[in-house]
Amino acid sequence: MTYRAPVSDFQFIFQHVVGFDAVLESGTFPDLDAETAYAILEEAGKLTTDAIAPLDRGGDLNPAVLKDGVVVTSPGFAQAMEQVAEGGWIGMLASEENGGMGLPLSVATAVNEMMSGACLSLSLQPLMTQGQIEALEHHASDEMKALYIPKLISGEWCGTMNLTESGAGSDVGALRTKAERNEDGTYAITGQKIFITWGDNDFCENVCHLVLARLPDGVPGTKGISLFMVPKFLPTADGGVGDANALKVVSLEHKLGIHGSPTCVMDYDGATGWLVGEEHQGMKCMFTMMNNARLGVGVQGVGIAEAATQKALAYAEDRVQGRSPIGREGAGIIDHADVRRMVATMKADTFVARSIALACGVALDLGRSNPDQLARGNFLIPVAKAFSTDIGHEVAQTGVQVHGGMGYIEETGAAQYARDARITSIYEGTNGIQAMDFVGRKLMDDGDAAFALLDEIESFAEQARATLPNRAKAVWSAAETLREGVEAMIALPMNDRFAGAVPYLRAFARVLGGYYHLKAAMAEGGDGPRSRLAAFYINRMLPEYAALLTQARLGAADIYAISPEDLAF
């Protein structure tokens, strides 16, 4: 089977779980109503199901290659990207005054998840361009906006981000790429960047690179970094493409997965660049787009989880092995308790990750005019990124297990999801870094954002007691215990917080999952497929939060008690 976009699930979550109506009623998007929003999701579902999903396997088997200095992309990718561009999907978030759709982030997040689930390798290409458009809208000069943004939205040109260098990794401040001022107001950029997603292709007439580099008077560390636009071809006066710039693709990385996405090593040899924003303010420019980029990566994990779950369920229903222990004649292995447990776990966690991501998008949409909602959206970003990508990886691995020995055979396609998902936990700051942000910056308000969310969960659980007393009680108790966990985390020294950051973030996500599953069950009146899945989650998966909080509170002493020499025995 191939991927089918879960449009109905998005609509249900928007209507009953994350409060999307508040976005429509906020006045921020006056030309958007529910009917239009859901029609957009339907159209995105058709595109991803019919045009993009069929390319996923081919992209894995026939990856992008570097030939004579030019990247040759996987078969069908160019045609699919033409459809993506013609539909206006690249400019979903761009302002209408710049030719974009001006959609809410929550809607764009749903669309990006569908694209990721259909073909993660291909989806990364428009995602990079979306991020570049956002950075330009906030920081570029009017002349640069007028030149680049329409071309990027149309798909004629595309964008990349060039941050990482060999030896620097997540420590962007250690970069060595240098920028020198030219007499004509441009800059000469020299250096090498690695891990550049979609650093080149054979279907856009120009590839526009946002490059972080340091001017001669830039101070060490992140405060001395500037951001530059460095296109593959120099723009002409009339907005066309002129001479080739002094840059090239050195090689393509040989990766575990996402083979259809060309990940490039880029070399700049005095390439002509234009300053974006102010000198030495490059990180400020990049952080403008960081929230959206991290949310975008989070739904990559959700998309993979959805696709892996669909494939596992189809296989488990079709594969007959032994007799059904519950007496269904000719039933597949889905009737075996452990297989049913695995697929239910995949489904339940995919729902949680999707709900967290969409709740984050809704909060950031509302945050345009509501500071409290902006604080909530920022608070949820590391959870949406880290939990969702961890779940993408875990669900894909479980999908292989459901297939048994056939899951280890590449022909089934189950292993591709496991390989493709792995990078998402590393993209845009590793999940450990996300967890450290969650216990560090995100608790600098003394827990106000966390406590406000927990107040909401407990209030809803109280209302749900009359209909679903046992499930409501479990969710309320989990939220109250988590409240104590937040207080305990705030009291710890920072490095002790860091030692427990990963289990703490997972505990928070587990409790959010109980809340969202409870809301889904209540929307059904406590009886229906979502209610039964909610009971499964609340009974079997939610209780993990207690053990996770125990780990989170332990501090760092026992970790550092183990020396590197101890680990070498």
Per the DSSP assignment, residues forming a β-bridge with 162 are 211
User: Are 122 and 303 in contact, with CB atoms under 8 Å apart?
Assistant: no
CA dihedral 287, 292, 298, 299 (to 10 degrees): -160
Kindly list the averaged pLDDT for each block of 10 residues, start to end, along the chain of length 569: 92 98 97 97 98 97 94 98 97 94 97 98 97 95 96 97 81 85 97 96 97 94 92 94 97 97 97 97 85 93 98 96 90 96 98 98 97 97 98 98 97 97 94 97 97 98 97 98 98 98 98 98 96 98 98 97 93
Residue 560 backbone class (left: φ over 0; alpha: ψ -120 to 50; beta: rest):
alpha
**Residue 284: predicted pLDDT:** 86
| Residue 151 placed within a domain | yes
**Do 232 and 316 belong to one domain?**
no
| Residue 569 placed within a domain | no
| Residue 564 placed within a domain | no
**Do 101 and 130 belong to one domain?**
yes
**Residue 77: predicted pLDDT:** 98
Angstrom distance (rounded) from CA 495 to CA 133: 37
Catalytic pick from 113, 134, 306, 428?
Answer: 428
**Do 253 and 339 belong to one domain?**
no
Which amino acid, residue 270?
G
Domain that holds residue 393: 289-429
Angstrom distance (rounded) from CA 491 to CA 171: 28
Distance, CA of 225 to chain centre: 25
**Residue 88: predicted pLDDT:** 96
Pick from 378, 405, 429: which residue ends a domain? 429
User: Are 176 and 216 in contact, with CB atoms under 8 Å apart?
Assistant: no
| Residue 351 placed within a domain | yes
Angstrom distance (rounded) from CA 498 to CA 156: 44
| Residue 566 placed within a domain | no
**Do 176 and 272 belong to one domain?**
yes
Looking at residue 70, which CATH number applies to its domain?
2.40.110.20
**Do 49 and 130 belong to one domain?**
yes
Query: 438: Cβ–Cβ under 8 A, 6 or more apart, which residues?
Result: 382, 383, 386, 501, 504, 505, 508
Please state the domain count of the chain: 3
Q: How far is CA 77 from CA 5, 15, 202, in A?
A: 19, 34, 10
**Residue 99: predicted pLDDT:** 92
Pick from 397, 429, 461: which residue ends a domain? 429
**Do 268 and 168 belong to one domain?**
yes
**Residue 116: predicted pLDDT:** 98
Q: Is 278 a catalytic residue?
A: no
**Do 513 and 408 belong to one domain?**
no
Report yes or no on whether pTM surpasses 0.85.
yes
**Residue 169: predicted pLDDT:** 65
Pick from 412, 429, 446: which residue ends a domain? 429
**Do 281 and 301 belong to one domain?**
no
Angstrom distance (rounded) from CA 552 to CA 499: 7
**Residue 221: predicted pLDDT:** 86
| Residue 565 placed within a domain | no
| Residue 567 placed within a domain | no
